[in-house]
Amino acid sequence: MNFSDEYEKTALHLTAIRLLTDKTNKSKKRYKLRHVNFDELKKISSSAALVLTAELSKWNDSIRNNLTPYTDNWDKDILHQLHDLGFFHLFKKTKLPINNTETTKNINLVKYIKGSCGDSKKTATLKSELQRLVGDKISKWAFLHSGLTEAITNVSHHAYPQNRNFVEKEKNWYLTGSYNKEANELKISFYDQGIGIPKSLPESEVWEKILSMTAIVGIGKGMLDETLLSAAMEMDRTSTGENDRGKGLQDLLEFIRQRKEGYLTVISRHGLYRLLIREGKEIVKKHSFRTPLKGTLIIWNVSLTDSG
């Protein structure tokens, strides 16, 4: 399964979960659903696992922590991976059929961190956990705090606007990291459950500039999100219009450029934007999904191997 197929499939699953948990759904049958079953799940990336965890956390909150996963026939590697992510901490009544000392092969995961809008202090928890996995050298990486703090700040400003009737307990973000020992790669994933970047842009101060950059008349819905997301990523500043904002993701990109290997991916609604760097060469990839990924997912991956 390639990258695009994986997130297309993930989006389909999340859409189904949102239909079950959406408060605009008047059917009371949704409150009778108490179990999840992933017997057929054989492979999932850490970023897709974070999104899945976030959506089930939202579902679990809506039914007063009564959600229970059936795990008897789950793939053992999936159990280990989700266990290391902290997925099963969501569920109060679950007894895992694995030893807590077992772990995912070759990949060390940071248990997911759940925060609320405006709460950027929890990035320190991720930083200390990554230090434990990778080593003390991460303490010198100022880009880490800058990039993550910027992402969380943007959630507060744009993902959950006041005119969209979000309640405070819904305004959350989720964060995790992983270290692939075999490939010597560090990966950080950030996800919010807000309106998405394409939806927030028309109300931004840079909307007119984006319109001047793009020809969006006649573009289909999926392509429209891809175009808007690409324009937003390629601009020098964010929708606040402040010169010192929007540099967090640029800090992450700059570190990848220095290492000459890695990528930054942003997925929001129907659109995907990825800047891939291989041996110092930059390649931009854009993609449109048939099914929207609700909210915004940011994935940052960098090689820690000495590029010479």
Q: Residue written as tokens 């703090």?
A: 149
**What is the spatial distance between Cα 178 and Cα 181, in angstroms, rounded to a whole number?**
9
What are the residue ranges spanned by the domains of the chain?
3-301
**DSSP three-state, residue 183:** coil
Indicate if the pLDDT at residue 22 is higher than 70: no
pLDDT band with cut points at 50, 70 and 90 for residue 281: very high
137-193 tens-digit pLDDT: 565 566 667 777 877 777 777 888 888 888 888 889 999 998 888 888 889 999 999
Could you say which architecture CATH assigns to the domain 3-301? 2-Layer Sandwich (3.30)
Average pLDDT over residues 94-109: 64
Amino acid residing at 210: I
Positive or negative: CA dihedral 163, 168, 170, 173: positive
Distance CA 227, CA 198 (A): 9
Question: What pTM, to 2 d.p., does this model score?
Answer: 0.83
**3-state secondary structure (DSSP) of residue 54:** helix
Residue 3 has pLDDT above 60, yes or no: no
DSSP string covering 262-305, please? Answer: EEEEEEEEEEEEEEEEETTEEEEEEEEEEEEEEEEEEEEEEE-S
